[in-house]
């Protein structure tokens, strides 16, 4: 495994960009905000942060980022999306405005605001075996007006499900090839294991 610093972009149009940049920096990656087509070409991997997916979609299209990002994702660029980022990386949306577009890459159908409104936003312990100590040490996951994965294709691996309550069994973390997505926001906690998992993946696939 190469330990040379990888250059990871965070889509910086709107959302909790700073939190992702901070965690990446702490993990020794070179972290940069991405807002322009030329910047898309300069990165080894991409994180799409939490935020408002309708706003991000609008700005991605307005600033000519949709095609460059789709091209890089189709070319195998590793990507991770949290919450709105999961929506942006989904091939299909349930219950969204008909004109909302995504970048795609994950063969999943995502339902926006699936858990309800902000008063229903919650914290919940999740076991994520793919993470370091993921079996014995649960992750405190923060869900904010979060989406869930309603349907997934055969190539998609489930990384975590809600473990109790009304939504028990709902898929909230997935991976397909080099693309990872979570319904929740590890970047707003001090637990860096999801980012560590993603940076590890990036280091394995980026030459």
Partner 1 sequence: MTEQQIPQTDPAQAEHRTGTARVKRGMAEMLKGGVIMDVVTPEQAKIAEDAGAVAVMALERVPADIRAQGGVSRMSDPDMIDGIVSTVSIPVMAKARIGHFVEAQVLQSLGVDYIDESEVLTPADYANHIDKWAFTVPFVCGATNLGEALRRITEGAAMIRSKGEAGTGDVSNATTHMRQIRQQIRRLQNLPEDELFVAAKELQAPYELVKEVAQAGKLPVVLFTAGGIATPADAAMMMQLGAEGVFVGSGIFKSGNPAQRAEAIVKATTFYDDPDVIAKVSRGLGEAMVGINVDEIPVGHHLAERGW
Active site residues: 83, 185, 187
Please tell me the count of residues contacting partner 1 according to CB under 8 A.
Answer: 45
Site membership for partner 1, residue 58 (CB under 8 A): yes
Residue number with CB closer to partner 1 (46 or 83): 83
> For the chain, first and last CA: distance in Å?
10
Q: Which span sits near partner 1 by CB under 8 A: 23-31, 57-65, 68-76, 197-205?
A: 57-65
Residue closer to partner 1 by CB (options 31, 96) is 96
Cα–Cα distance measured from residue 28 to residue 5, given in angstroms and rounded to the nearest whole number: 7
Q: Taking CB under 8 A as the rule, does residue 79 contact partner 1? A: no
CB atoms < 10 A from the CB of 204, how many?
11
List the one residue from 1, 2, 3, 118 that touches partner 1 (CB under 8 A). 118
**CB 5, min distance to partner 1, A:** 25
Q: Which of 64, 125, 155, 200 binds partner 1 (CB under 8 A)?
A: 125
Site string for partner 1, 10-39 (x = CB under 8 A): --xxxxxxxx---------------x----
């Amino acid at each position: 495994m190469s330990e040379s610093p990888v250059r990871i972009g965070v889509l910086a149009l709107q959302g909790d960009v700073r939190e992702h940049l901070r965690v990446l920096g702490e993990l020794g990656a070179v972290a940069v905000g991405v807002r322009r087509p030329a910047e898309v070409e300069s990165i080894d991997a991409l994180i799409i942060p939490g935020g408002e997916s309708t706003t991000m979609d609008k700005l991605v299209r307005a600033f000519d980022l949709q095609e460059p990002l789709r091209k890089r994702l189709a070319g195998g660029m590793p990507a991770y999306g949290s919450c709105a980022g999961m929506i942006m990386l989904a091939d299909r949306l349930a219950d969204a405005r008909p004109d909302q577009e995504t970048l795609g890459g994950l063969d999943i159908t995502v339902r926006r605001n699936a858990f309800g409104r902000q008063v229903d936003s919650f914290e919940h312990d999740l076991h994520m075996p793919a993470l370091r100590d993921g079996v014995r040490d649960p992750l405190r996951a923060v869900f904010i007006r979060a989406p869930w994965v309603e349907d997934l294709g055969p190539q998609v691996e489930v990384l975590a499900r809600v473990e109790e309550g009304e939504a028990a069994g709902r898929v909230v973390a997935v991976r397909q090839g080099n693309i990872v997505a979570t319904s929740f926001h590890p970047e707003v906690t001090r637990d860096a294991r999801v980012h560590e998992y993603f940076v590890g993946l990036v280091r394995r696939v980026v030459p």
